[in-house]
Amino acid sequence: MNKKNSKYIIGLTLIEVLIGIVITTIMMAAMYTSYNVVNKSYSRVSEKAKISKSSRDLVSMLMRDIRMAGFKYYAGTYEIEKFADDTTASCTAPGLTLPKVSYLVFDSGFNITADSHNPVVIRRNVQGAGSTTTGGAGEICCDQIQIVYEDFNQNHLLQPFKKYKITYFADQTGTDKIIRPDGSEGTIIRYGVYKKISSWKQERASLTDCNFPTSGSWVETCPECTSAPVLVRDHIEDMEFIPFDENGIVIKNASGKFPAPELSDMRDKLYDIRGVDVRLTFRSKNHFFREGIARITTGLSGRDASNPDRYLRDSVIVSVHTRNIGGEAF
């Protein structure tokens, strides 16, 4: 090669290559940093969205059932005539006469609490489906609510009138690790929201039995029932139900307890309930914050909680009108 033309040959020097590598490295580091920031932001937004979705789904379910509390089914002319026609073959013509109002018995639950037919019963800080199973010392999760309403199934000839009891309650589902402000580790109890559906069974013994029975019992064997409580949502932090009357005043006694059949001083208030305030507080499944500092979760009735860990907690609060109790809107 002619030396005098070598200066016109295009190429890269070692210094230029090194500069290119440095610039590329800086750009890659900047891109990785940006990706890391965006990914963490997305994870936080996703965690908040999960909590929000859990709250909305459960609130919608609760609102629907609370609004149905105390509902009574009145049979119309069509239902009465059809039931008579359907029972003519097994009973003397013109068949059984279905009453316009449900013939199912009403049990106040004053003697046996579990037999209660009261439309809404709220028990504070009660875990499990029973009326006396409470949390341990210092625990404030969660309230229990029982809802009773009627329905009708014209194809069920043994018992066309139906009555259901829906119970929402919290129970322990496990434990989770926490990191305290001082960096030490510990555990907290994890709770889940359960739903239990029972049906009042007051069937005729057979199709040829032409008399409506006068007694019954709650069972969990109907097609709509739950043979065992069903876990609806996990990671519930607290669940509050506050009943209030037509003037918006909270219905409670001196001990802060709400109307229930086992409370002799509050039994006469069971049908004064015109609405229920609902608060649901959920906790994130994974750690959310970098630092475990004390964060306050505010309750509806002074049931506040300080949580010195890294989990995110979010609450949703709604007021639900019990439109089938009392006979008039407020």
Domain assignment present for residue 31? The answer is yes
The backbone torsions φ and ψ at residue 177, rounded to the nearest 5 degrees and listed phi first, read -80, 140
Q: Which domain range does residue 174 map to?
A: 12-321
3-state DSSP assignment of residue 156: coil
Domain assignment present for residue 4? The answer is no
Return the sign of the alpha-carbon dihedral for residues 118, 329, 64, 248.
Answer: negative
Domain assignment present for residue 182? The answer is yes
Are 73 and 104 spatial neighbours (Cβ–Cβ below 8 Å)? no
Q: Which of 172, 166, 177 is nearest to 141 (CA)?
A: 172
The backbone torsions φ and ψ at residue 180, rounded to the nearest 5 degrees and listed phi first, read -80, 165
Could you list the pLDDT tens digit for every one of the 330 residues in the chain? 555 555 555 667 778 788 888 888 888 888 877 766 666 665 666 666 677 777 788 899 999 999 999 999 999 999 999 999 998 888 877 888 899 999 999 999 999 999 999 999 999 988 887 655 454 444 568 999 999 999 999 889 999 999 999 999 999 999 988 888 777 888 889 999 999 999 999 999 999 999 899 999 999 988 899 989 999 999 999 999 999 999 999 999 998 899 999 999 999 999 999 999 999 999 888 887 777 778 888 888 888 888 888 888 888 999 999 999 975 433
Write the CB contacts of 77 (distance below 8 Å, at least 6 apart in sequence). none
Question: Which residue(s) pair with 188 in the sheet?
Answer: 176
DSSP string, 186-215: EEEEEEEEEEEEEEEE---SSTT--S--S-
Domain assignment present for residue 16? The answer is yes
pLDDT at 82: 92
Full-model pTM: 0.82
Domain assignment present for residue 329? The answer is no
Domain assignment present for residue 20? The answer is yes
Q: What is the DSSP letter of 74?
A: B
Are 82 and 288 spatial neighbours (Cβ–Cβ below 8 Å)? no
Count of structural domains, the chain: 1
